[in-house]
Structure formats: C-alpha cells, structure tokens
Amino acid sequence: MRPIPATIVLLIVFTVGCSKSTDSGPTQRITSEREHPFLVPLPHVAPIDVLIVDGRRFENVRGIRTFYLPIPSMDAIMFVTQGDTYHCTYHVYRMDTREDVSIPMTHSLFGYAIGSTHTNLRKDSVEVNSSNILLCTLFNEEDGKQRRRCDTIDLSKRAVVAEKTVIYDKEGKVIHEHEEPPPF
C-alpha cells in the first residue's frame, strides 16, 4: 500500500467543509450557528456567526449564541448583520409575513451584546414606541455612570429617523443628552 502524500491529505481536510455548532431558537423556524470555515484550526480565520430564519441565511450576525432579540408585540425578531468596520444592517424580520425589513447603517455599536448573559457592562434591548422601534444599548461605566444610546427606526420609512445618547449619573439622573443630526 502506497502512503498518501501530505498535500492530498491537507487538500481533503480543507475541502471537506465547515464544522458547526448549532442552537435552535424558540421555534424550529430560527436556528443560530457558529461555523468554523475549516476543520483544522488556522490562525486569523474567525468563525462565522449565522442566523437562519425560515430557511433564509444571514451571515456575520452580531451577538452571542442566539443573535436576535424578540419583538413579541409585532410578531417579529430583530438582529444585526456586520459589514465593514462599524457599518451594519439592522433587520426586523416579521414572523407573520416572513418579510425582512433591512435598514443599512453607517455606524452603530448596537447588537454586540445580543444574547449575552454578562449584562453588568453592556446590554442591548428593543422597545416598541407607537410605530417606531427603539434599539438601545446601555453601557455601565466604571465610575458608576450609565450611557444609553438609542437608534429609532421608523418601519414605514425603512430608516433610522433619530439617534440619541443620554448619560446618567450614579443616582440615575440625566447629566447630558445629545441627539445626532441626520443623515445616519
């Protein structure tokens, strides 16, 4: 029996596919996965976080494990896909109509803490206010202050219509408010 050359073995290992770790959502319609591009660990090759909703695949989603936040009052979920640098896309996926409302952003820190159990430093949340959705990140600073950054989405316009940052002191009193002017 002839030995198999090392290059053939490596070629087979690299082309076999991806290794996956999967976590199903509350229904079988939502699956979150972390895919590793190669079976053999390589330096500088990061895993790819994937969210699959109703068979639609969204790659490079922000967050940890589940990668989405539910919006029960709208029968929807919200998640963020990462683009270049801080560019991203907000997604509001309507579970009743299977519609994905995509809203591109040029800069945003929202979404990195989705699914995190370590909310003592940072927490992402979704709030519904009349016809708008507020995507908020609460940052707990080391000095006891809190910074709350919210993006307001108008679904009828399919756009972010407001960005606001509020800083609170240790007692929870507002010490600074700032609204960003458009465009976002």
3, part of any domain = no
pTM: 0.81
Give the pLDDT band (50/70/90) at residue 28.
Answer: confident
Rg (CA), the chain: 20
The DSSP 8-state label assigned to residue 121 in this structure reads T
> 10 Å Cβ neighbour count for 94?
15
Distance (Å, whole) CA 116 – CA 123? 8
pLDDT digit string (tens) for 109-166? 899 999 988 878 899 999 998 889 999 999 999 899 999 999 999 999 999 999 999 9
Q: Mean pLDDT of all residues in the chain?
A: 84
pLDDT digit string (tens) for 50-76? 999 999 999 999 999 889 999 999 999
Give the pLDDT band (50/70/90) at residue 35.
Answer: confident
53, part of any domain = yes
Query: Which residue in the block uniquely carries the two structure tokens 């090392």?
Result: 6
Domain that holds residue 166: 20-180
User: φ, ψ for residue 114 (rounded to 5)?
Assistant: -60, 130
1, part of any domain = no
168, part of any domain = yes
Count of domains forming the chain? 1
Choose among 119, 121, 124: nearest CA to 146. 121
2, part of any domain = no
67, part of any domain = yes
176, part of any domain = yes
Average pLDDT of span 76-84: 94
Q: What is the pLDDT of residue 174?
A: 97
14, part of any domain = no
